[in-house]
Amino acid sequence: MKNKKLVMIPGPTPTIRSINDQMGRETVAFGDPEFVKDYKELIIDLKEMFKVDGECFVVAGTGTMAMEMAISNVTKRGDNVLIVSNGFFGDRFIDLCERKGLNVDVLSAPWGEVVSPETIESKLKEKNYAAMTVTHVDTSTGACAPIEEIGKIIKNYPDTIYIVDGVAATAGEREYVDDMGIDILFTASQKAFGVAPGLALLWAGQKALSRRKSLGTIPEFYIDFEKWIPIMNDPSKYFATPAVNMVWALKESVRVINEEGIEARYDRHIRVSKAIQSALESLGFKILAKEGNRGTTLSNVLYPEGINDAEFRKIMAEEGAMVAGGLAAYAGKLFRLGHMGNIDDHTVYSVIAVIERTLIKLGYKYEKGIGLKTLLENM
């Protein structure tokens, strides 16, 4: 019998049955009163869950579209933007902003580390930035930025809109929009919400919304806040067709999150990530992100001497777990293991077991069972 393929990449993450059921429902008219009610409740729940006195947008698209939506609604051509980059997805903002005619300054950390709040503060003193972007957990490194501390600093810079890329963090890492001084937070459905790809989610606080108002007409159409605000407040109105089944699936994921309790969910991510990382270290792997700034949603795992990346990932897939390769300079040097969203303990044990089976097949010399033993002791 063929093994079930576990999707252990940093998105899409595994989808559970009740969420799949929503995606598989017969579609209804977007004006169907029951759908309108569901959509409206979803938006209210999401605002409450991430504590924003402002707006929440749920729009068909991906995380990259949400990045563009965030920037486009708070800046205009010629504005200064500060990009705090801790890896590949932080860097993605550079090209995105330059194409919009923004003046870009970049603060980068070596991969596995994060730019310190002190460094950010001294840069903010240099000039007036219309916006600053920070990636909460950069998926290319697994490093987690201190978004709360940065939020305290940004309070002293009222002209700067604080944008947090939560695509590999939101619903896995603690995030409270208003309390943490965040002006815009965004994510996508296929990461820690555990829904298939297809939806972008974005929260905007009052400061971001008044910036949007001050800009007048912006060049972007589909991702304009002003186009969507009337819809998010009354989804019976039409602007562009909502992804009906995906909205239902996201609503189910919110129900699943509330059933677990969001705080319990964050704690689970901490517990599981620590246990997985200890197990991997016991097997001879190293975690790229420095201790103290490791994300809880994924691990970027450096191979021990003698393990070939392509071979390792091929056997992993045959044994039943898909993991992702490294990006840029780390291609071939590490694999990326997602452990965010609706991942139960069975899955965690399975994936460490798959890694051990793979190591055995590769003829890697190690103490058999040590990964599972370490996992058991730390879960």
Report the amino acid identity of residue 313.
R
Q: Which is nearer to ligand PLP, 145 or 352 (CB)?
A: 145
CB 129 within 8 A of CB 82: yes
The correct pick among 18, 64, 103, 116 for binding ligand PLP (CB under 6 A) is 64
Could you say which DSSP state residue 81 is in? Answer: E
Minimum Å distance from CB 93 to ligand PLP? 9
Minimum Å distance from CB 89 to ligand PLP? 4
CA atoms of 294 and 273, how far apart (whole Å): 9
SS3 327: coil
CA atoms of 38 and 43, how far apart (whole Å): 9
Helices in 73-157 by DSSP H: which ranges? 88-99, 117-126, 147-154
DSSP string, 334-348: EEEEE--SS--HHHH
Stretch that binds ligand PLP, among 56-64, 73-81, 229-237, 277-285 (CB under 6 A): 56-64
Our measurement of the distance from residue 188's CA atom to the centroid of its chain's CA atoms, rounded to an integer in Å, reads: 7
Burial of 116 (0-12, 13-18, 19+ CB in 10 A): middle
Stretch that binds ligand PLP, among 164-172, 252-260, 302-310, 336-344 (CB under 6 A): 164-172
Q: Under the criterion CB under 6 A, does residue 63 sit at the interface with ligand PLP?
A: yes
Minimum Å distance from CB 135 to ligand PLP? 5
Q: Under the criterion CB under 6 A, does residue 86 sit at the interface with ligand PLP?
A: no
The correct pick among 35, 89, 203, 330 for binding ligand PLP (CB under 6 A) is 89
DSSP string, 150-186: HHHHHTT-TT-EEEEE-TTTBTTB---TTTTT-SEEE
Beta bridge partners of 302: 286, 334
Q: Under the criterion CB under 6 A, does residue 62 sit at the interface with ligand PLP?
A: yes
Pull the structure tokens for residue 151. 């939020």
Stretch that binds ligand PLP, among 103-111, 160-168, 238-246, 370-378 (CB under 6 A): 160-168
- In terms of Cα–Cα distance, which of 222, 274, 218 is closest to 102? 218
Site string for ligand PLP, 128-157 (x = CB under 6 A): -------x--xx------------------
Burial of 259 (0-12, 13-18, 19+ CB in 10 A): exposed
Using CB positions, name the residue nearest to ligand PLP: 63
Residues 6+ apart with CB under 8 A from 70: 133, 163, 165, 184, 186, 202
Q: Which is nearer to ligand PLP, 99 or 155 (CB)?
A: 99
Q: Under the criterion CB under 6 A, does residue 168 sit at the interface with ligand PLP?
A: yes
Stretch that binds ligand PLP, among 58-66, 271-279, 308-316, 331-339 (CB under 6 A): 58-66
Stretch that binds ligand PLP, among 68-76, 104-112, 162-170, 258-266 (CB under 6 A): 162-170
Q: Under the criterion CB under 6 A, does residue 72 sit at the interface with ligand PLP?
A: no
Minimum Å distance from CB 124 to ligand PLP? 22
Minimum Å distance from CB 1 to ligand PLP? 33
Minimum Å distance from CB 326 to ligand PLP? 14
Beta bridge partners of 143: 294
Q: Which is nearer to ligand PLP, 165 or 175 (CB)?
A: 165
Q: Under the criterion CB under 6 A, does residue 167 sit at the interface with ligand PLP?
A: yes
Q: Which is nearer to ligand PLP, 13 or 160 (CB)?
A: 13
Residues that contact ligand PLP, how many (by CB under 6 A): 12
- Binding residues for ligand PLP, rule: CB under 6 A, are 11, 62-64, 89, 135, 138-139, 165, 167-168, 188
